[in-house]
Amino acid sequence: MRLRPLLVIPLVVLLCAACARDAETPLAEEQATAVDATGSVTISAHEAGAAALSWQRPRVELAEADDIAQARERAGEALDAGDLYEGEDAAIPLYLALLERDPDDRDARRGLDAARTRLIALGDDALAQSGDDPDALRNAHRVAAVARDVWPQDEQTQGYLQRLDRADHLWELNRLAEADLAQDRLGESGEGALPKLREALELAPGQPRAMQNLAAVESALIRRAEAAAASGDFDSAGQWLEHAAVLRPDIDTVPDARERIARMRTLRIARLRDQGVAALAGEDGIAQARAHLAELLRIAEPGDPAAVDLRERIDLAVHYGLFRPGQVFTDALGSGGRGPRMVVIPHGAFTMGAPESEPGSTDAERPQRNIRFDRGFAMAVTEVTVGEYRRFVNATGYQTRSARRGFSMVYDERSGNFVRRSNVDWRHDHLGAPAADTAPVLHASAVDAAAYADWLSQQSGQRYRLPSEAEFEYALRAGTDTAFAWGDGRDVPAGVGNLTGSEDRSPSGRQWSNAFAGYGDGYWGPAPVASFVANRWGVHDLAGNVSEWVADCWHENYRRAPADATPWVNPGCRTHVIRGGSWASAPEQARSAWRAPAQRDTTNARLGFRVVRDL
């Protein structure tokens, strides 16, 4: 706002003895002592105080009768022209001179009365413009000086002086308020522009200059609110808007500002949410994301969707990195193509092992222990397939144990037993014939399985490995605590997996002597991976199809086992653990807690593996 030059002329100056005469001095004596040859209204300004105005009455000489007639004519013309007091040819000095010569001159008295009326009207016109016009206020003071000199006790003069006093006070209040505004002293707490402007508007409701200054205070408060919002301090922004809202409640300025600041809040919340999400992918990302969340929560309303989303993402990152539980993904491999399909296993806790009361259980599955997963992990959706293993061998030239020694164990249909057969390796099925790429890879040792996981790690830049016993059982149970993944009984739901069922038949018509009664799955031998329903966590064939290598070394029981889910490994151990039932396993071997030892170089037609990946 551009402020006009200020003129301060307090009324007390007009009422002091410096106004050229004492109130008790007779009119004639005043006329004699106040006339000046040049005649003017003068302003004596003191730099440290207010200006003082006085009117020096022009001296008019009327010697002859002709002069009187001419003076009366000149006075009438001046009155008609509005030339009231400046110079010896002005109406008021002429009428005063005529009355001084003849106090009973009625024409002069009537003319002087008319001049007074015109003068007060002129002063009121100046007062009407004096709110922000210093020249108008100066003119109003000139009128006051004349009226005070000529008609000090007149009711019109006194009324006019009161109106001038109010105009002076309004001017001073506005001037002081503007000075406060220039120093950003708004007065919302009681000291500054606002109290002065309120006083001004009590004196003159709606006075334009005071209203303009009030709008300036409102604008300054809104600027403070917007600056606070820009720095993220929306509480202070709201307080500044509350102060501004009471100033001009009928104007839409503050509601508009509220909408702007609400948009600023929304944008800042969205930006903090995006910054938090982006931070999760970087170093020390969770700590940074939590800092963004704390700032977001400070400015957001309870239950804000962005805050809920970022909190969930941080929780997910704590437990799953950049993934979500149940998410299926593959990693790109450096040599081209993608790795096996992985599913994110949710974090949580379970009781590992079997109770003594569980039929078919052994002491190797005890003592039960509680395992907690503070972080999820990814597990291959299926066993590693022949096709997936082929890519590894083709890329590396790796020689498996069975390929190096030239044989493995296969199923012999004629005898119904497992026998050693030459020239069988990972490329072959349970019978020793070439295997389909969709079949689970067989005839791979624990070392061969670990080599594949190491290759995936090198190719993807992620850590792939064999699962620990705890991870395997946790994923197999998938939240259950029963003997089997489907329950405690041997009544197996249809399609649950490739298990030994009484309804299964080999190509030559053989049956299992120890099988799940009333169950048949249509396979005598491993089925293509994912031929049966996945468990509730999206993993196929953990309880059946083929048994699987895990990373742990064999121990006779769980005493002194790790308290967490890490593999229990002894350097140089040659006996590892296998987990999960197979197409040719006894029913009790399909239990969730079942475990068995195997030499790490073992290869056969019932044993495969799958991988897990750290998140």
The per-residue pLDDT for range 210-245, each reduced to its tens digit, is 999 999 999 999 999 999 999 999 999 999 999 999
Instruction: Please count the other Cβ atoms lying within 10 Å of the Cβ belonging to residue 363.
Output: 12
Sheet (strand 328-329) strand order: 328-329, 342-345, 377-380, 612-614, 464-465
Residue 32 has pLDDT above 80, yes or no: no
Q: What is the DSSP string of 395-455?
A: HH----HHHHHTEEEEEETTTTEEEEEET--TTB-TTSSBPPTTSBP-S--HHHHHHHHHH
Q: Residues 357-366: pLDDT tens digits?
A: 999 999 999 9
Residue 38 has pLDDT above 90, yes or no: no
Report the alpha-carbon angle 376-382-386, nearest 5: 135
Q: Residues 325-336: pLDDT tens digits?
A: 999 999 999 999
Residue 123 has pLDDT above 60, yes or no: yes
Contacts of 49 (CB under 8 A, 6+ apart): none
pLDDT of 327 reads 96
pLDDT of 66 reads 67
Residues 441 and 407: their CA atoms lie apart, in Å, by 15
Give the pLDDT band (50/70/90) at residue 53: low
Residues 276 and 287: their CA atoms lie apart, in Å, by 9
Closest CA to 549 of 389, 441, 400: 441
pLDDT of 67 reads 82
Residue 348 has pLDDT above 90, yes or no: yes
Q: pLDDT over 90 for what percent of the chain? A: 86
Residue 501 has pLDDT above 80, yes or no: yes
Q: What is the DSSP string of 555-604?
A: -SSSTT--SSSS----TT--EEEEES--TT--GGGGSTT-EEEEETT---
Q: Residues 585-612: pLDDT tens digits?
A: 999 999 999 999 999 999 999 999 999 9
pLDDT of 16 reads 33
pLDDT of 282 reads 87
Give the pLDDT band (50/70/90) at residue 485: very high
Residue 36 has pLDDT above 60, yes or no: no
Closest CA to 449 of 226, 601, 262, 310: 601
- Cα 379 to chain centroid, rounded: 35
3-state secondary structure of 615: coil
Least confident of 277-281, 398-402, 564-568: 277-281
Query: What's 88-146 look like in SS3?
Result: CCCHHHHHHHHHHHCCCCHHHHHHHHHHHHHHHHHHHHHHHHCCCCHHHHHHHHHHHHH
Give the pLDDT band (50/70/90) at residue 28: very low
What average pLDDT does the segment 465-482 reach? 98
pLDDT of 419 reads 98
For the CA atoms of 454, 456, 461, 463, what is the dihedral angle to 10 degrees? -60
pLDDT of 69 reads 87
3-state secondary structure of 343: strand
Residue 39 has pLDDT above 50, yes or no: no
Residue type (1 letter), 47? E
Question: Considering the entire predicted model, what is its pTM?
Answer: 0.66
pLDDT of 30 reads 34
What average pLDDT does the segment 410-432 reach? 97
3-state secondary structure of 173: helix
b/e sequence 112-150, b meaning 16+ C-beta within 10 Å: beebbebbbebbeebbeebbbbeebbbbbbbbbbbbbbb
Q: What is the chain's mean pLDDT, rounded? A: 90
Q: What is the DSSP string of 513-528?
A: SS-BTT---S-SSPPP
Number of H helices, E strands in the chain: 17, 16
Task: Match 């972080």 to its residue by tokens.
Answer: 375
Q: For residue 371, what are the β-bridge partners?
A: 350
Residues 243 and 228: their CA atoms lie apart, in Å, by 14
Between the alpha carbon of residue 253 and those of residues 223, 260, 485, 518, the distances in Å are: 12, 11, 67, 80
pLDDT of 33 reads 31
Least confident of 59-63, 473-477, 510-514, 564-568: 59-63
Q: Residues 1-20: pLDDT tens digits?
A: 333 333 333 333 333 333 33
3-state secondary structure of 297: helix
Closest CA to 354 of 594, 596, 581, 597: 594
Dihedral-angle region of residue 521 (phi above 0 means left; psi in -120 to 50 means alpha; beta otherwise): alpha
Residue 281 has pLDDT above 90, yes or no: no
Give the pLDDT band (50/70/90) at residue 189: confident
Tokens of 153: 């006790």
Residue 135 has pLDDT above 60, yes or no: yes
What average pLDDT does the segment 85-98 reach? 94
Tokens of 182: 């220039």
Report the alpha-carbon angle 514-517-523, nearest 5: 75
Dihedral-angle region of residue 599 (phi above 0 means left; psi in -120 to 50 means alpha; beta otherwise): beta
What average pLDDT does the segment 516-538 reach? 97
Q: Residues 544-562: pLDDT tens digits?
A: 999 999 999 999 999 999 9
